[in-house]
Amino acid sequence: MNIRLKLVVGIGLLLSYQACLAELIFYPLLHKTPAELTQPISELLQPGETVIAGPNKLILRLEPQHVEEIKSLIDRLDQPSHRLLIYVSHQRQLNQQTEGYDGQAILETGTNNTSLQGRIKVYSTRDTENNKHKQTIQVLDGHTAYIAIGVNQPHTTIDIAQYDSHTHLSSSTAYRESSTGFYVSPRLSKDSVILNISPWSEHVISSDGSSTFNQASSIIRTRLNTWTELTTVNQRQQQGSTKILGQTNKTSQDSNSIWIKVVDLDADLNN
């Protein structure tokens, strides 16, 4: 056997011997899912070591001198996630104001004089409407919640089928959703919370099912137990009309805003 062949055989035997030393471990988890811990654990493994997600446990192949270190790390990461309660407030304020006057004039002709009789009415009205919708949803720290508010609009289709001298009518109703909402993923950071928010809105604009769609994404940091304004949309409309001896002005302002607050239900979990 030449030297090169001996070297190859020796390396193969050494690798086989090292592989035999590696331990196969099935490590059960108490709180986290295996998929949540696979990535952070794999980043700390040595060459040749592996970790895969099993049913309610991690399956590891580790060097003997590395086993206790990895087990200790898994125990530190396998902690119960905090339960977070998310409060959402949709607030709408609508102000409408109407101002103007209308008048009438009557011209009368007598035998001795001419007189003008008239009537003028001046008016001013103002309506204020406040609507508040509050929602709550519970989610685990680091997971995603979905919150929406809207309406389903029915759309009925009638089908007419002709069979010889008979006519058959059938109808079906489908519902189209017009709604506004967002996905939110909260993550605790000491006494504050980081919110990954993806708001969206969809509204039907025609009978054929066409709709408008808007979506965005942002990340914000806010304190726990504190109301934070996410967005405000202001719309203002003004209309006016003028007639003979009459004038009307109408003004409306519509303000919509979304507020959010996060409460940690397990704030004293580790105290």
pTM of the entire predicted model: 0.56
pLDDT score recorded for residue 206? 59
Same domain, 94 and 222: yes
Number of structural domains the chain divides into? 2
Same domain, 157 and 49: no
DSSP one-letter string for 146-190:
EEEEEEEEEEEEEEEEEETTEEEEEEEEEEEEEEEEEEEEEEEET
pLDDT score recorded for residue 193? 92
Q: Is residue 269 part of a domain?
A: no
CA separation for the pair 102, 123 (Å, rounded) = 9
Q: To which residue do tokens 């099912």 refer?
A: 209
Q: Which domain holds residue 55?
A: 3-79
Q: Is the pLDDT of residue 121 over 60?
A: yes
Q: Which of 42, 60, 79 represents a domain boundary (last residue)?
A: 79
Q: To 10 degrees, what angle do helices 67-77 and 34-42 make?
A: 130
Same domain, 207 and 143: yes
Give the tens place of pLDDT for each residue, 18-68.
445 678 889 999 888 898 889 989 988 888 899 999 888 999 999 988 899
Q: Is residue 16 part of a domain?
A: yes
Given a contact cutoff of 8 angstroms between Cβ atoms, the answer to whether 262 and 224 are in contact is yes
Same domain, 253 and 161: yes
Q: Is residue 104 part of a domain?
A: yes
Higher pLDDT, 46 or 15: 46
Same domain, 66 and 123: no
Give the tens place of pLDDT for each residue, 179-201.
777 788 999 988 899 999 887 66
- From the centroid of its chain, how far is CA 47? 41
Same domain, 25 and 74: yes
Same domain, 249 and 162: yes
Same domain, 189 and 222: yes
Q: Is the pLDDT of residue 111 over 70?
A: no
The CATH number for 33's domain is: 3.30.1370.120
Higher pLDDT, 229 or 181: 229
pLDDT score recorded for residue 270? 52
pLDDT score recorded for residue 177? 65
Cβ contacts of 160 within 8 Å, gap of 6 or more: 167, 168, 169
Higher pLDDT, 83 or 232: 83
Q: Is residue 184 part of a domain?
A: yes
CA separation for the pair 203, 241 (Å, rounded) = 31
Q: Is residue 28 part of a domain?
A: yes
The arrangement of strands across the sheet holding 246-264 comes to 114-140, 83-109, 246-264, 228-243
Same domain, 54 and 162: no
**At 72, which helix (H) or strand (E)?**
helix 67-77
Q: Is the pLDDT of residue 6 over 50?
A: no
Q: Is the pLDDT of residue 235 over 80?
A: no
Give the tens place of pLDDT for each residue, 129-140.
676 778 888 999
Same domain, 27 and 161: no
Q: Is residue 245 part of a domain?
A: yes
Question: Percentage of the chain surpassing pLDDT 70?
Answer: 66
pLDDT score recorded for residue 85? 93
CA separation for the pair 175, 259 (Å, rounded) = 29
Q: Which of 79, 105, 139 represents a domain boundary (last residue)?
A: 79
Mean residue pLDDT across the chain: 75
Q: Which of 53, 79, 105 represents a domain boundary (last residue)?
A: 79
Higher pLDDT, 216 or 17: 216
Question: What's the 3-state SS for 202-248?
Answer: EEECCCCCCEEEEECCEEEEEECCCCEEEEEEEEEEEEEEEECCEEE
Question: Percentage of the chain surpassing pLDDT 90?
Answer: 16
- From the centroid of its chain, how far is CA 5? 64
